[in-house]
Amino acid sequence: MRSNDHIKNYLDFYCNIANKLPFAVLLKGKWGCGKTHFIKEYVEEKPNFIHISLYGLSSFAEIKEKIIIEIVPLLPNKYNSLAGTLYRGVKHIPGFKKWIPEDADDLILDLYLNKKNNGSIFIFDDLERCNITIEKLLGYINHLVEFLEQKVILIANEEVISKSEQGGKYLEIKEKLIGKEFSVKSNPEEAIEYFVSNIRNAKLGKKKDLIVGLLLKLFYQSKYDNLRLIQQAISDFEYFFEIIESKVNEESQIFEKIIYEFLAIFIEYKKGSIKSDDFGKWSFFFRGIDDKENHFLDKYDGISNWIICYDVEILGKVLQGISLSQEENKKLLEKIESVSNNNQESWQILWNFRENDDQTFFKMLEDVMRKWRDYGYIDFFVVAHMFGLFIYFSEKGFIQESKATILGQVKEYVVKLINDNNFPLDLDEQRSGMSWWEGAYGLGYYGNDSSEWKEFMEFVREKTKELRPKFIKEKIQKELLPILRGEIKSSENLDLLINYNFLYNSAGNGEAYFQYLEVNEIKDILIKNGISSLNRFKDIFIQRYTERKADIIGIEQENIFLIELKSKLEEEIEKTKQLFGGKLTPKVFLINAFIDKALTPFIQINIKETNIIN
């Protein structure tokens, strides 16, 4: 069953005219999670749905006009915007105005809504982006539901509304109006397949399966849960592709790299990680030049160290919509043509050995093997490519080394990368979409059908598993703790960040990680951040070990952390009591409440379950 199929099943029940249900249904989720895409897909070819976007509307008259355009279309649906303009215009033409009552909108709506059992369902989208106060807006919608017996589906980013000044009033009215609500989960596979199905370029159309896999990979690597941005990215690339199409060989192994680099830079530019001025000083983005240990582009297969398809300053102008000079346009096309038919690094040229003469082959082979012997490659993915090539060359008799010898060498190489801190700790997090073990830098691996390759992959998995605690601890130190300490701000809701979005395992499930937290550090964060922090974290802990518990793999491993945290907090209580002569203080009261509500019940449950398992 797909992630949102249960919502479709309920909507089938709710929208059935035979079911008299006097309430509205809410579909909620963050911007870009696919709410509108989901509802459009659901209502496709269903005639009785009236879909109204409330984005920017400031009056009920505007809402009524939008409804009328839907129920009495002057033009086909795809021209609804023009129909709306005509409708509003006609009402104000002096020659027609005297023939149209001022309450024409109400009369039309009354005639329509008073039809018994008309079977229509209203969909009001972008609730949080409407300029009408939430109290009045929901009052209007409640009138449709309660008094006119209309069925209504609301679509909103509830988080935005709840945090606004109108949040309290919204929650108050919501209780009466909304009888059922669902959180729409991102379904990137379905959405991306839909986006790619709309590609019209014939050359790109031949590569739809490749592009779907590539977009999935970028979606997960970007760690930016916004499908709308992915849709914009592929749309922008299709438009850009019209410019470079004549210079691109779609059968080239670098074809995927041309798409990949454009989309990754597009996403980071739209996210704001790359500013407009940065395109002119791109060399300073590279690690080793700016001396940064980590780089925001590192999550994309080596882009921060190696961009081969574009002059980034020119690409920046393309993304910003700046017109290129003749010289810049020529340079852009020459670069694309060059990489589309050439691979620049010696290992890349060797990878394309079938397209080169014997002299070039042995020249590149000598250079690559020298670097291999000297541990000259510090990029794990290049090392994987080299291993695959050597296994293939050994099998074909191009080199004398046996496959067993090469296997032993690559294992030593991986250990060297680990010892030098050059091994990527996040391999498990790169398993979504087009996975790293299938290829890197737009190139598939040679030798990946051999038993040696399988043994190499198993060796890498073992090392990755051994290094998993190190990865999690580093991730906690670099990403989570600065937020918890208040050193940096996060746009994410703290509950979702801690309990849902922070850590996933290779299967895409939530993964337990509290066992890696340093107890004294968490104790200090709880105590030093004051009353609001204790209350907030109390709710987060309770949610983690109740409603979210089933979604977190290995959560029983966190039991020791809970026990130790309880002990540290109890020590803090005793210290505080001693300072005030054994008296009960507000601080002691709050810490006790945290222990009683957020720790003790779950420690007991965890111990009980652990005993049962053992």
Mean of pLDDT over the chain: 81
Distance CA(52)–CA(69), nearest Å, equals: 10
Distance CA(163)–CA(134), nearest Å, equals: 13
Give Cα 127 distance to the centre of its chain. Answer: 22
CATH topology of domain 5-185: Rossmann fold (3.40.50)
Tokens of 272: 């704001």
| Banded pLDDT at 263 (limits 50, 70, 90) | very high
Tokens of 155: 């679509």
pLDDT at 285: 54
What's the rounded mean pLDDT across residues 130-147?
Answer: 88
Distance CA(259)–CA(442), nearest Å, equals: 9
Distance CA(436)–CA(439), nearest Å, equals: 5
| Banded pLDDT at 271 (limits 50, 70, 90) | confident
Q: Which of 368, 475, 465, 472 is nearest to 418 (CA)?
A: 465
State pLDDT tens for residues 444-500. Answer: 788 888 999 999 999 999 998 899 889 888 888 888 888 888 788 776 778 778 887
Tokens of 152: 């209504």
Across 362-387, b (16+ Cβ under 10 Å) vs e yields: eebbebbbeebeeeebebbbbbbbbb
Q: Is the pLDDT of residue 116 over 50?
A: no
pLDDT at 342: 56
Beta strand 443-444 with 439-440: parallel, antiparallel or unpaired?
A: antiparallel
Residues near 19 by beta carbon (within 8 Å), at least 6 away in sequence: 13
pTM for the model:
0.45
**% of the chain surpassing 70 pLDDT:** 81
| Banded pLDDT at 435 (limits 50, 70, 90) | low
Distance CA(581)–CA(2), nearest Å, equals: 60
Q: Is the pLDDT of residue 405 over 50?
A: yes
pLDDT at 31: 67
pLDDT at 590: 87
Which amino acid makes up residue 256? E
Span of 81-90, 222-231, 506-515, 524-533 with lowest mean pLDDT: 81-90
Give the HSE-up count for residue 598: Cα atoms under 13 Å, Cβ half-sphere. Answer: 22
| Banded pLDDT at 86 (limits 50, 70, 90) | very low
State pLDDT tens for residues 589-600. Answer: 888 888 988 899
Span of 20-34, 230-244, 262-276 with lowest mean pLDDT: 20-34
Distance CA(524)–CA(510), nearest Å, equals: 26
What's the rounded mean pLDDT across residues 191-202?
Answer: 87
| Banded pLDDT at 240 (limits 50, 70, 90) | very high
Give 347-372 as a DSSP string. Answer: HHHHHTGGGS-HHHHHHHHHHHHHHH
Whether residue 43 contacts residue 51, with contact meaning beta carbons closer than 8 Å, is answered with yes
State pLDDT tens for residues 317-366. Answer: 999 999 999 989 998 998 888 777 654 578 888 887 876 788 888 988 99
Q: Is the pLDDT of residue 103 over 60?
A: no
Span of 45-59, 205-219, 504-518, 562-576 with lowest mean pLDDT: 504-518
Using alpha carbons only, what angle is made at residue 379 by residues 375 and 381, rounded to the nearest 5 degrees?
Answer: 115
Whether residue 183 contacts residue 28, with contact meaning beta carbons closer than 8 Å, is answered with yes
pLDDT at 106: 53
Comparing 96 with 391, the larger pLDDT belongs to 391
Distance CA(70)–CA(47), nearest Å, equals: 11
pLDDT at 482: 86
